[in-house]
């Protein structure tokens, strides 16, 4: 039964890769469903050069690789001219996919694109590419590994400058180099262990080879842990930093959202409790992507709809990286002045976040855990409703205190003419975003995928298991198996999993049979 399943599985895998490598594919490589000045249609596969000659009515090879030509394109069936095109041909393996590739740069009208794609579909050995198939062929042909492919996808989807920089770095292989280096070190350690097991009795292997391997493994565990302990900076930058605006009803949360977004993204009303649902808006601040979330006012209520809104607000606060606490300065001016800002803020936060305890049945000690690791910005709103002398008195009082909270404080008004106040808040947010998304060690790229994190965590477990079994010679073969698993976990990240490399290292480093 096993042989039958294995045989069928092997045949299916072979058919899949044979289909991928034997067929020639084509697709529109530029934007879909929109008029543009120039559109690019890409062809990749063994029939590419023949297609190029037939569409341009040339019977012999007149094209040099990696040079641009200006040619007429003709339909192979109707013999009608489709367009005038710039054409470039890439000969394998020096192309994106590693195969022969041709690109037709035509005018971007929908009729022209449709006609060219129709012309390509008339060839018997051509088919329309599946989603991501050009990149998949690049991987299968060794042009890019999986991490670089993921970087390419992130680069295409990048919406901010910082996302672009991170994705470009990953696509260029900076992250892959780290993983490949770790994998090579584990392979070398595994080669040492395999050599010790197989050839130790013949005294062809140095006695300290296992000790050297253990030092390598311990160093790797430390390096991988440091890499994992990055506070998810790369993942935040890739998917966007969540910033929740919270506070009591009618504190000005929706007005602040609109002021930051510079549009009426949320309904503003003097009636408390207007915002019932969570309102999200994706924006760009200084090149960093953020998802700005306006939430329902935090208060106890008997209104079932508002209760649901408060619960959703609490859930979003829990999943956010930055919290902007909006406080009505006009309402709480006297409290702040009399109690002191630190005491007032302590009471205010506990009062507002105690709603979270009630609706989610949490313990009081959970608030500190709930807020741990989050950056907090406090905005004293509606300063336009109090006198400037009062603001000066308040500033003097706040500056004279030593606040126990790690917060950034600003005084704002969400009126249109108070843009300087919003600019100050945005500067503070920029500092928070830089802290959350920028790697302290600029030379080492950050993790960007949960998949990488999962595989690296499994790799550490295997390396630690190896260290436990390494000193028992009876378990040395089992210890070697843990190193094989560690190699496999790292290979799974980049897409390179092989056992022949281990044999190559053994014969190269130990000169067996001398």
Tell whether 213 is covered by a domain.
yes
Lookup result for tokens 């013999």: 79
What is the CATH classification number for the domain harbouring 266? 3.40.50.300
What is the CATH classification number for the domain harbouring 139? 3.30.1360.120
Tell whether 493 is covered by a domain.
yes
What is the CATH classification number for the domain harbouring 458? 1.20.120.430
Last residue of a domain, one of 116, 143, 170: 143
Would you call 133 helix, strand, or coil by DSSP? helix
Do 258 and 264 touch, CB atoms closer than 8 A? Answer: yes
8-state DSSP, 363: -
If one counts every other C-beta atom within 10 angstroms of the C-beta of residue 428, the result is 20
Helix/strand/coil (H/E/C) assignment for every residue in 412-472: CCCCCCCHHHHHHHHHHHHHHHHHHHCCCCCCCCCCCCHHHHHHHHHHHHHHHHHHHHHCC
Closest CA to 486 of 230, 226, 188: 188
Last residue of a domain, one of 437, 457, 485: 437
Structure tokens at 183: 């994998």
Do 394 and 410 touch, CB atoms closer than 8 A? Answer: no
Tell whether 151 is covered by a domain.
no
User: What is the per-residue pLDDT for 321?
Assistant: 86
Per-residue pLDDT of the chain (514 residues; tens, 9 = 90+): 334 333 444 434 433 444 445 789 999 988 776 778 899 999 999 999 889 999 998 867 778 899 999 999 999 999 999 999 999 999 999 999 999 999 999 998 899 999 999 999 999 889 998 888 888 898 889 898 888 988 888 888 888 899 899 999 998 999 999 999 999 999 988 888 887 777 666 565 566 777 888 899 999 999 999 999 888 888 888 888 889 888 877 788 888 888 888 777 555 555 555 555 677 788 888 889 988 888 766 666 666 666 667 777 777 777 788 888 888 888 888 888 888 777 787 777 777 666 666 655 555 555 566 666 778 888 888 887 888 888 787 777 777 766 555 556 666 666 654 556 778 888 888 888 888 887 654 557 888 888 889 999 999 999 999 988 887 766 788 888 999 999 999 998 888 765 455 445 434 544 332 2
- The answer on 469 and 426 residing in a single domain is no
- The answer on 134 and 198 residing in a single domain is no
- The answer on 422 and 475 residing in a single domain is no
DSSP H or E stretch at residue 210: helix 209-228
User: What is the per-residue pLDDT for 29?
Assistant: 87
User: What is the per-residue pLDDT for 115?
Assistant: 94
Residue 256, domain extent: 236-437
């Amino acid at each position: 039964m096993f042989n039958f399943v294995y045989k069928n599985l092997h045949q299916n895998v072979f058919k899949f890769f044979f289909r991928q490598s034997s067929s020639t594919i084509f697709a529109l490589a530029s934007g879909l469903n929109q008029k543009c000045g120039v559109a690019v249609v890409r062809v990749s596969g063994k029939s590419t050069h023949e297609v190029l000659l037939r569409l341009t009515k040339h019977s012999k090879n007149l094209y040099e690789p990696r040079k641009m030509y200006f040619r007429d394109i003709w339909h192979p069936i109707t013999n009608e001219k489709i367009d005038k095109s710039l054409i470039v041909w890439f000969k394998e393996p020096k192309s994106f996919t590693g195969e022969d590739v041709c690109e037709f740069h035509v005018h971007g009208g929908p009729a022209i694109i449709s006609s060219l794609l129709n012309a390509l579909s008339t060839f018997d050995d051509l088919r329309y590419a599946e989603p991501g198939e050009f990149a998949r062929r690049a991987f299968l042909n060794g042009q890019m590994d999986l991490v670089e492919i993921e970087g390419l996808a992130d680069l295409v989807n990048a919406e901010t400058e910082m996302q672009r920089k991170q994705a470009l770095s990953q696509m260029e292989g900076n992250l892959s180099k780290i993983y490949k280096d770790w994998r090579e070190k584990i392979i070398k350690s595994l080669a040492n262990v395999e050599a010790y097991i197989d050839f130790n009795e013949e005294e062809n292997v140095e006695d300290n080879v296992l000790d050297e391997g253990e030092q390598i493994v311990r160093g790797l565990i430390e390096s991988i842990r440091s890499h994992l302990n990055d506070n998810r900076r790369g993942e935040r930058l890739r998917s966007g930093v969540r910033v929740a605006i919270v506070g009591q009803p009618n504190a000005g949360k929706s007005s602040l959202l609109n002021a930051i977004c510079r549009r009426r993204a949320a309904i503003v009303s003097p009636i408390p409790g207007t915002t019932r649902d969570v309102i999200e808006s994706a924006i760009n601040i200084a090149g960093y992507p953020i998802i700005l979330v306006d939430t329902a006012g935090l208060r106890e209520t008997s209104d079932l709809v508002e209760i649901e809104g408060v619960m959703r607000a609490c859930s979003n606060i829990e999943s956010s990286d930055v919290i902007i606490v909006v406080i009505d300065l006009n309402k709480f001016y006297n409290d702040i002045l009399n109690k002191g800002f630190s005491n007032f803020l302590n009471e205010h936060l506990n009062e507002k976040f105690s709603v979270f305890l009630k609706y989610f049945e949490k313990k009081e000690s959970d608030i500190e855990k709930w807020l741990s690791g989050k950056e907090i910005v406090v905005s004293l709103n509606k300063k336009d409703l109090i006198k400037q002398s009062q603001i000066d008195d308040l500033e003097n009082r706040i500056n004279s205190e030593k606040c126990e909270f790690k917060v950034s404080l600003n005084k704002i008004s969400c009126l249109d003419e108070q843009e300087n106040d919003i600019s100050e808040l945005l500067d503070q947010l920029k500092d928070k975003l830089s802290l959350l998304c920028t790697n302290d060690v600029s030379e080492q790229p950050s993790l960007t995928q949960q998949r990488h994190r999962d595989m690296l965590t499994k790799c550490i477990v295997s390396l630690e298991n190896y260290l436990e079994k390494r000193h028992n010679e009876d378990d040395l073969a089992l210890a070697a198996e843990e190193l094989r698993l560690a190699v496999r976990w790292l290979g799974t990240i980049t897409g390179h999993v092989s056992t022949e490399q281990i044999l190559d290292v053994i014969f190269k480093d130990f000169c067996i049979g001398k």
